[in-house]
């Protein structure tokens, strides 16, 4: 059960990742967590990544692929793993293939930009507790105030409309190309590709995933 999740930020990948992890007993591998863990462990790749990051540079694809290979060889990945936010580009996908990292399922969460902007820019957060509200779907009892403390709610930088639109732009420019890439891989029998309508209720998306993956 080696899975890649594709979709724009705010398309619901994180929610379904939790469901898949619990259902199939597989870990989610995010490149950020993986980098931090490798640095903490002091592995050779981790130390190489730390040097690059300390110099304020981006970690190269080769280094990331090395870390992915190192991570998926660990015991908790015996039943499989879930890659979220990687690969982001076609060179990264090519490098994964060249390094023999096999993927069983690629799941694309398809949500229109305007829906994502509404989902994310409507979020309001209580900074002290981390409680999250939404102006449409889960509004606080008093507008702009936390239900329990009455303190002000804030809009996180990541949730501001201009930030969301910028991130969507980067997604369309770089990562969306992977949709075509993995569809071709599926046509050639190297993986299975699933297109999910991400605007459906969370439970329905989870049920569809369960039916697809068995």
**34-to-45, 103, 121, 177 alpha-carbon distances in Å:** 11, 18, 29, 24
For the chain, counts of helices (H) and of strands (E): 9, 7
Are 106 and 112 in contact by the 8 Å Cβ rule? The answer is no
Dihedral angle of Cα 72, 76, 78, 79, to the nearest 10 degrees: -110
Rounded Cα distance, 46 and 142, in Å: 47
More confident site: 32 or 172: 172
Strand 123-126 with 131-134, pairing: antiparallel
Output the CA angle 87-91-97, nearest 5 degrees: 70
Q: What is the largest CA-CA distance in the chain?
A: 57
Q: What local confidence, expressed as pLDDT, does residue 9 receive?
A: 87
- Does residue 123 sit in helix, strand or coil? strand
What does the pLDDT look like over 104-159, one tens digit per residue?
999 999 999 999 999 999 999 999 999 999 999 999 999 999 999 999 999 999 89
Residue 28 has pLDDT above 90, yes or no: yes
Is pLDDT of 84 > 90? no
The pLDDT value recorded for residue 31 is 83
Active site residues: 13, 88, 123, 156, 167
**C-alpha torsion angle, residues 88, 49, 38, 87 (rounded to 10):** 10
pTM for this model (two decimals)? 0.84
Q: What is the pLDDT of residue 162?
A: 94
Could you give the 3-state DSSP secondary structure of residue 125? strand
């Amino acid at each position: 059960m080696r899975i890649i999740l594709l979709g724009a930020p705010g398309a619901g990948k994180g929610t379904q990742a939790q469901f898949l992890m619990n259902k199939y007993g597989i870990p989610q591998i995010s490149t950020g967590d993986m980098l931090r863990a490798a640095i903490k462990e002091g592995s050779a790749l981790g130390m190489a990544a730390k040097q690059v990051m300390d110099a304020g540079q981006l970690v190269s694809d080769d280094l990331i692929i090395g870390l992915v290979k190192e991570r998926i060889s660990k015991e908790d990945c015996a039943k499989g793993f879930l890659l979220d936010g990687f690969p982001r580009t076609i060179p990264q996908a090519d490098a994964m293939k060249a390094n023999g990292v096999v993927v069983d399922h690629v799941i694309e969460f398809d949500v229109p930009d305007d829906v994502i902007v509404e989902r994310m820019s409507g979020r309001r957060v209580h900074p002290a507790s981390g409680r999250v509200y939404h102006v449409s779907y889960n509004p606080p009892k008093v507008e702009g105030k936390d239900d329990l403390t009455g303190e002000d709610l804030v809009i996180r930088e990541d949730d501001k409309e201009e930030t969301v639109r910028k991130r969507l732009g980067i997604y369309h420019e770089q990562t969306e190309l992977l949709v075509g890439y993995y569809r071709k891989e599926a046509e050639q029998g190297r993986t299975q590709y699933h297109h999910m309508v991400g605007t459906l209720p969370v439970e329905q998306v989870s049920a569809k995933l369960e039916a697809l993956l068995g």
